[in-house]
Amino acid sequence: MSQNLYPSFGVLLVDDEVPFLRSLSIALERRGGINHIYRCEDSREALGIIAREPIGLVLLDLTMPHLSGEALLQRIIEEHPDVGVIIISGLNQLETAVSCIRQGAYDYFIKTTEEDRLIEGIRKAIRMQEMRLENQEMRRRFLSDTLERPEVFEGIITRDKGMRSVFQYLEAVSASSQPVLISGESGTGKEAIAHAVHALSGRNGPLVSVNVAGLDDNIFADTLFGHHRGAFTGADKARAGMIEQAGSGTLFLDEIGDLSLASQVKLLRLLQEGEYYPLGSDRPKRMRARVLVATHQNLEQKQRDGAFRKDLYYRLRTHQVELPPLRQRRDDVGLLLEYFLAQAAEELGRSKPSFPRELPVLLQNYGFPGNVRELRSLCFDALSQHRAGVLSMEVFRRATGQGAAIVQAEQPGEGVLFASDQPLPTLQEAADLLVAEAMQRARGNQSLASRLLGISQPALSKRLKKSQPD
């Protein structure tokens, strides 16, 4: 494929006026970025084109010889109910418009309508079709629990069900041109997910990444939009912005939660209009890249606080994934430990060492505020200090700490430990419950369980013996 087609499905223009077909095609491509277009001058051939080609939307004239637009509309709705239809007629007849909408047409426009209004209406219909197709695809994937391109996610080490659901969702929306918001704590792998989305999309341009944290409004505009020579003091030559460098690929904006309000306005206009002005230019350029954004911040809270524009927030979250923190992916800790130790051994030119059986258990009960990135650093640090024999746990013990090892499932105030309508357990019963939970988390290792409880190993052993029936 020599170029990326937008939308992923075809848009069929049906009109017996060849000049109008040509002018509308040009306007759709130049003003709307819509280039997946089929044209039909004879309404009798339209149904054959819909059957042969991946048509998702039809722009239909009403007054045509042989087969009228209203008759063709009825046949499309009967034979191809998943195909959307927009009427574009030279007749301004309210009764006809109402009749077409009642039959199932998505919208009705007059040919003399302002071009901007017409193109925006068509783009809106495309977005509706995209959402319908994505919902169908998501239902299919989740019901069958399949991944069609698992190789795209090979670099993300996991067997967590939550992460698998993220992968299935991303496969379902891969054909969309709409933005994707990737959120999650620092170190959860947001950039790796951005690379996966780019690979899934099949776009023929590169992935261009920009960390927007700390960029003031002028630098942000220059970084994204580029500038012409002489646009400002020091602009001795023209420079292409990141949007142009991305071409038909993907533009990834990291740390979007730190973007200033002034820059948010520029980004919103870019997403709404699909065009931008390089600094010093009065001629707009059309953006062909897909936009991905990532943040570790709570954008919903920021927009409620007035620090993030509400309209931009809802524009960005057309597609959204939340990456679970490592403390919620306990089964992945052992996999990642093996993977990062092997990676560190290869980079340091050493053999991968064995490690104590209790090490994965210790790490599974640690909160990992730095998530996957923190575990990777611990593995590299431990191996750099390793000399021979079994890998020492000292680096990991220092990192987890005596009190920091306990995994906090919920923050204070987020949950209730004891239901108000149930009797409280006695102190002895509560202590027994804590000991049982610690032993379960430590997988029967008394040394680790005692550290989780903050008591000595002999004290725990004494409690266990007292709780055993005679």
pTM of the model as a whole: 0.73
- Residues 168, 143 contacting (CB under 8 angstroms): no
Tell me, yes or no, whether 72 and 36 share the same domain. Answer: yes
Q: In the β-sheet with 84-89, what is the strand arrangement from edge to edge?
A: 37-40, 10-14, 55-60, 84-89, 107-110
Residue 419 is predicted with a pLDDT of 66
Q: What percentage of the chain's residues is helix, strand, coil (to nearest 5)?
A: 50, 10, 40
Domain boundary residue, one of 101, 128, 155: 128
Which residue would you say has higher pLDDT here, 95 or 165? 165
Pairing of strands 319-322, 180-183: parallel
Residues 300 and 384 in one domain: no
Higher pLDDT: 105 or 90? It is 105
The residue range of the domain holding 37 is 10-128
Asked whether residue 415 is assigned to any structural domain, the reply reads no
Q: What is the mean pLDDT of residues 277-301?
A: 93
Reported residue count of the chain is: 470
Return the SS3 of 291.
Answer: strand
- Let me know if residue 5 belongs to a domain: no
Condensed to tens digits (0 to 9), the pLDDT of residues 25-70 reads 999 998 888 999 999 999 999 999 999 999 999 999 988 988 988 8
* Domain containing residue 34: CATH number: 3.40.50.2300
pLDDT band, very low/low/confident/very high, at 460 (cuts 50, 70, 90): confident
Q: How confident is the model at residue 93 (pLDDT cuts 50, 70, 90)?
A: confident
Report if residue 412 sits inside a domain. no
Q: Are strands 37-40 and 10-14 parallel, antiparallel or unpaired?
A: parallel
CATH of the domain at 359: 1.10.8.60
Handedness of CA 146, 150, 152, 153 (dihedral sign): positive
Residues 349, 271: one domain? no
Residue 115: its H or E element: helix 115-144
In the block, tokens 């003399």 appear at 112
Q: Are residues 307 and 180 in the same domain?
A: yes
Q: Is residue 195 located within the same domain as residue 316?
A: yes
pLDDT digits (tens, 9 = 90+) for 103-141: 889 899 888 777 888 898 999 999 889 888 888 887 777
Q: Place 403 in a pLDDT band, splitting at 50, 70 and 90.
A: very low
CA distance 381 to 379: 5
**214 shares its domain with 258:** yes
What does the DSSP assignment read for 133-170?
A: HHHHHHHHHHHHT--S-GGGGTTS----HHHHHHHHHH
CATH of the domain at 244: 3.40.50.300
Tell me: do 314 and 170 sit in the same domain.
yes
47 and 163 assigned to the same domain: no
Name the band, by pLDDT with cuts 50, 70 and 90, for residue 96.
confident
Residues 120, 226 within the same domain: no
Last residue of a domain, one of 298, 322, 346: 322
Contact 3, 34 (CB under 8 A): no
Q: Domain end: 400, 415, 444, which one?
A: 400
Distance CA 216, CA 208 (A): 20
Question: Is 422 part of a structural domain of the chain?
Answer: no
197 shares a domain with 90: no
Which pLDDT score is estimated for 406?
A: 45
Mean pLDDT of the region 144-168: 90
- pLDDT tier at 469 (50, 70, 90 boundaries)? low
Task: Give the pairing of strands 275-276 and 285-286.
Answer: antiparallel
- The answer on 223 and 369 residing in a single domain is no
How many domains, in total, are found in the chain? Answer: 4
- Where does 173-216 have alpha helices with state H? 190-201
What CATH code is carried by the domain that includes residue 462? 1.10.10
Q: Note whether residue 395 is domain-resident.
A: yes
Residues 215 and 312 in one domain: yes
